[in-house]
Amino acid sequence: MTDVTDPLAAEIHGPSPRQLLKARALSHKGLIFGMMVVLLLVLVAILAPVLAPHDPYAQSLMNRMVPPVFMGGTWEHPLGTDHLGRDYLSRLIYGARVSLMIGAIAALISGVIGTAMGVAAGYFGGKVDAVVTFLINVRLAMPVVLVALAVVAILGGSLTVVICVLGLLLWDRFAVVMRASTLQISRRDYVAAAQVIGASTPRILLTEIMPNVFNNLIVIVTLEMAHAILLEAALSFLGLGVQPPTPSWGLMVSEGKNMMLFEPWLVLIPGAVLFVLVLAINLMGDGLRDVTAPEGRS
Amino acid sequence: MLAQKPTRSTLVAAVLMASVAMPALADKASETLNVAFTKELENVDSYFNSSREGVVLQRAIWDGLIYRNPETNEYVGNLATSWEWVDDTTLEFKLREGVTFHNGEAFNADDVVFTVNFVANEENGVKTQRNVNWMKSAEKIDDYTVRIHLKEKFPAAIEFLSGPVSMYPNEYYAEAGPSGMGLKPVGTGPYKVTEVVPGQHFVLEANGAYHDSPKGQPEIAKIDIRTIPDVNTQMAELFSGSLDLIWQVPADQANKLAQMGQFTVANESTMRVGYLQMDAAGRSGEDNPFTNKLVRQAVNHAINRQELVDALLQGSSKVVYTPCFPSQFGCVQDVTEYDYDPEKAKALLAEAGYPDGFSIDFYAYRDRQYAEAITSYLNAVGITTNFNMLQYSALREKNMNGEVALSFQTWGSYSINDASAMVSQFFKHGALDSTRDDEVLEWLNVADSSTAPDTRVEYYTKALQKITGEAFWAPMFTYNTNYVFKDEVAYTPTSDEVLRFVDMSWN
């Protein structure tokens, strides 16, 4: 008897899976760092009206390109002013809103589309799978940047257009990963058991499949969010994304580009912030993957 | 600019300069002057492009019958030695003898007749009709005497003949056409073209057999022009020595380059006028706000022209209230001026029925920075702008189709020192006329075709006063150009925004 009960007892008295998860998460430096930075930027974005020292749209042509504090400027404009005399720090803070909003909404739209397609393909298989796989292939055959450029050029650049275009273009990875994960999960015994006791398909999808593919979903969400933020910056840099005077980090890089040789900080500051945000989101994604699926660590 | 002494940023530039150092490809020693163009030139044939770069090449490759001295504004003969008005619509020219084109073809009356008849024929599609459509035809009297017949009285004829109307070789042009001419241009000018990579690269060599022209003789043996769209790249190449001269340098960069003390930075005003065009005729929609005079006046009051000039354009730019350049003949300055008064602008908008302002598509094609600053002024009084930056040709087409309610436009008048080159281009019910005012049309017709200077001034005054009084446009500022070149290049830029290679030499 002791042979059987001992390991069981040990398991009962050991830490619960949730506690294990928490311990792993807290010891993961990348995850902690990424989360802190993202959280900080989200707070900054939400509190922008409180934090920003100036109106990000207030133009003062007599105060153009004031250098930031660390290059000989004053605390009146800690990060200096841009080519139209607008406070750089305030524009950076409001720019965080644009970047995060685009990242989050685009990831949400593409997440919903991709997950629905992927889970359906993985669970139902057969013709549904064939159609979804075909759609994924079609989508993968189109270069994202090129299509986004073309669509934005035709419809005109605006925040809504950019969000929609990115949301409708970035679902491929969701679909691929969700399809593979669902395929794996739907062969498990507990799914078969649920089917045997007569649970409805929506119920099985929601209570048996989704909770088990959620880990993967979170990782993809972070990846695609970073992807969308970078694409928005690229589109804005090319003049096809968010239109002035809306502050956007990509647009700020683009506007500072002409003065790059003499006022490099105009490009360096928004570039650095963009880099940190994308890095943080990616670290967070990697960390989440490591923590939730430790066997996936390589 | 804030920095008056060499700053950290100039040091950064100096470091960059060292890091991009490449073997100097050309300089005084190699007798080659390297120049950068910012925009791509679509066709070297001067009748089939409408860009500043085209004008620069035109003045180097071809000659006109008449030459206007850019310093004194005096007209002297170039390919013609003398001219006279036979009657109000006929000009007779005595042509210079012994002139040959770059391909060896001799210049005579046949060339003039062919060129004029070709360009004056609307079917041949000369890009800027305004430059040529006042001519009806040309007639050969003998080998070196020719008459040009005008459609109607046109006092600015001499100015146009000394500007955009240049003479082409008849035999070659008949065979090559505009596209052939664009690839292998042939003219009588001080420089001949030895290489053309369309839109990218042009190599000119001094014409050793250039006739005794008032333009003077070319001194620099070879001019190598490359299209480099990015101003940072242009500056980096200037530092590294692979460019000798850049122009149209934005004011901010020119200031910094001047501080470095290694280059000559020359600033000259140009005839280009920047203005806001408003759809007063209602072509983009009967109910568009700009059909209301009060709204147009509000726009005029919303713009801080002086601040734009002082902070952004700098140099020799001036505030302007007329839809023409002040030095142009007939461009009287006795017009309605709108001072910067955002409160008044808001009040006018409220009076016009837009107490909360309105939202409108705003178009621009160049100088994004100026355009952004302008939209910022408009936003401040409640006019929300959806910013659209288009290519010039795309915006021009949209404009011709009447789809543009509000746009930031500029016009350089082809450096023609006569108000007709601008006012009459835009207010005579052409495709680009956004106002369509009958009275203005009538007055401009009188002013354009009268030979009596007093009558011309009188009617231009009427037209300009109505245009400004009705606030059809919001003229804002004149442009200036910065020329930056190595100290070993000697050149004095002129105020007409034309780069004259023939006036350049080595120090």
A-to-B residue pairs, Cβ atoms closer than 8 angstroms: 84
pLDDT value for A6: 58
CATH topology of domain B270-480: Dipeptide-binding Protein; domain 3 (3.10.105)
Give one DSSP letter per residue of B8-74, joined into a string.
HHHHHHHHHHHHT------STTTTEEEEEESSPPS-SSGGG--SHHHHHHHHHH---SEEE-TTT--
Closest chain A residue to the Cα of B304, Cα to Cα:
A61
**Which residues on chain A are in Cβ contact (under 8 Å) with B250?**
258
% pLDDT > 90, chain B? 67
Chain B nearest CA to A82, separation (Å): 11
**What is the residue extent of each domain of chain B?**
35-225, 270-480
Give the Cα separation of A245 and B374 in Å (integer): 11
HSE of B341, CA atoms in CB hemisphere, 13 A: 11
Query: Can you state the percent helix, strand and coil of chain B, rounding each to 5?
Result: 35, 25, 40
Chain B nearest CA to A238, separation (Å): 11
Task: Considering only the beta carbons, identify the residue of A59, A71, A158 that sits closest to B373.
Answer: A59
- Whether pTM exceeds 0.80: no
A72: left (phi over 0), alpha (psi -120 to 50) or beta: left
Please confirm whether the linkage preceding B164 is cis (ω < 30° from 0): no
Residue B16 has pLDDT above 60, yes or no: no
**Do B35-225 and B270-480 show the same overall fold?**
no
**Which residues on chain B are in Cβ contact (under 8 Å) with A260?**
232
Q: Are B481 and B251 in contact (CB under 8 A)?
A: no
Please judge whether B373 and A61 are an interchain contact, meaning their C-beta atoms are less than 8 angstroms apart.
Answer: yes
Task: Considering only the beta carbons, identify the residue of A59, A67, A239 that sits closest to B389.
Answer: A239
Closest chain A residue to the Cα of B370, Cα to Cα:
A84
pLDDT value for A8: 58
Split at pLDDT 50, 70, 90, the class of B373 is very high
Question: Tell me: the pLDDT tens digits for B445-456?
Answer: 999 888 888 999
pLDDT value for B76: 93
Question: Tell me: the pLDDT tens digits for B309-349?
Answer: 999 999 899 999 999 999 899 999 999 999 999 999 999 99
**Which residues on chain B are in Cβ contact (under 8 Å) with A239?**
368, 389
Query: Residues B373-402: what's their mean pLDDT?
Result: 90
Residue A294 has pLDDT above 80, yes or no: no
Contacts of B64-67 with CB under 8 Å at 24 or more apart are: B64/B161, B64/B162, B64/B163, B64/B165, B64/B166, B64/B167, B65/B93, B65/B95, B65/B112, B65/B161, B65/B162, B65/B165, B65/B167, B66/B158, B66/B161, B66/B162, B67/B162, B67/B213, B67/B214, B67/B215
CB proximity A244 to B under 8 Å: yes
pLDDT value for A159: 85
In the DSSP assignment, the letter for residue B133 is T
Query: Residues B148-173: what's their mean pLDDT?
Result: 90
SS3 A243: coil
Sign of the dihedral defined by the CA atoms of residues A68, A71, A73, A78, in that order: positive
Query: Residues A203-224: what's their mean pLDDT?
Result: 87
Split at pLDDT 50, 70, 90, the class of B146 is very high
Q: Is A137 exposed, middle or buried (0-12, 13-18, 19+ CB in 10 A)?
A: exposed
Radius of gyration of the CA atoms of chain B, in A? 24
Average pLDDT value for chain B: 89
In the DSSP assignment, the letter for residue B435 is S
ipTM above 0.85, yes or no: no
Question: Tell me: the pLDDT tens digits for B299-308?
Answer: 999 999 999 9
Please judge whether A244 and B372 are an interchain contact, meaning their C-beta atoms are less than 8 angstroms apart.
Answer: yes
In the DSSP assignment, the letter for residue A208 is I
> Across-strand partners of B204?
B193, B223
Task: Considering only the beta carbons, identify the residue of B13, B308, B373 that sits closest to A262.
Answer: B13
**Chain B contacts to A (CB-CB under 8 A):** 1-2, 7-10, 12-13, 16, 231-232, 235-236, 250, 252-253, 256, 304, 307-308, 310-312, 368-369, 372-373, 375-377, 379-380, 386-389
A8-17, A234-243, B188-197: range with highest mean pLDDT: B188-197
Superfamily of domain B35-225: Periplasmic binding protein-like II (3.40.190.10)
Chain A nearest CA to B311, separation (Å): 6
CB proximity A71 to B under 8 Å: yes
Split at pLDDT 50, 70, 90, the class of A237 is confident
pLDDT value for A298: 39
Please judge whether A262 and B369 are an interchain contact, meaning their C-beta atoms are less than 8 angstroms apart.
Answer: no
SS3 B131: helix
Split at pLDDT 50, 70, 90, the class of B197 is very high
**Which residues on chain B are in Cβ contact (under 8 Å) with A158?**
386
Query: Residues A159-172: what's their mean pLDDT?
Result: 89
Retrieve residue B92's tokens: 């007779």
Give the Cα separation of A238 and B51 in Å (integer): 24
Residue B382 has pLDDT above 60, yes or no: yes
Query: Residues A73-82: what's their mean pLDDT?
Result: 87
Please judge whether A264 and B379 are an interchain contact, meaning their C-beta atoms are less than 8 angstroms apart.
Answer: no
Angle between helices B8-19 and B231-240 (to 10 degrees): 70
Please judge whether B232 and A71 are an interchain contact, meaning their C-beta atoms are less than 8 angstroms apart.
Answer: no
Query: Residues A165-173: what's their mean pLDDT?
Result: 90
**Which residues on chain A are in Cβ contact (under 8 Å) with B368?**
239, 255
**Which residues on chain B are in Cβ contact (under 8 Å) with A65?**
1-2, 252
Q: Are strands B90-95 and B80-87 parallel, antiparallel or unpaired?
A: antiparallel
Residue A273 has pLDDT above 70, yes or no: yes
Of B70 and B382, more confident: B382
Q: Which of residues 149-188 of A touch B (CB under 8 A)?
A: 156, 158
Please judge whether B9 and A66 are an interchain contact, meaning their C-beta atoms are less than 8 angstroms apart.
Answer: no
Nearest to A153 by CA among A143, A165, A141: A165
Question: Tell me: the pLDDT tens digits for B98-115?
Answer: 999 999 999 999 999 999
Residue B243 has pLDDT above 50, yes or no: yes
Split at pLDDT 50, 70, 90, the class of B223 is very high
Query: Residues B61-81: what's their mean pLDDT?
Result: 91
B424: left (phi over 0), alpha (psi -120 to 50) or beta: alpha
Which helix (H) or strand (E) element contains residue B118? helix B109-120
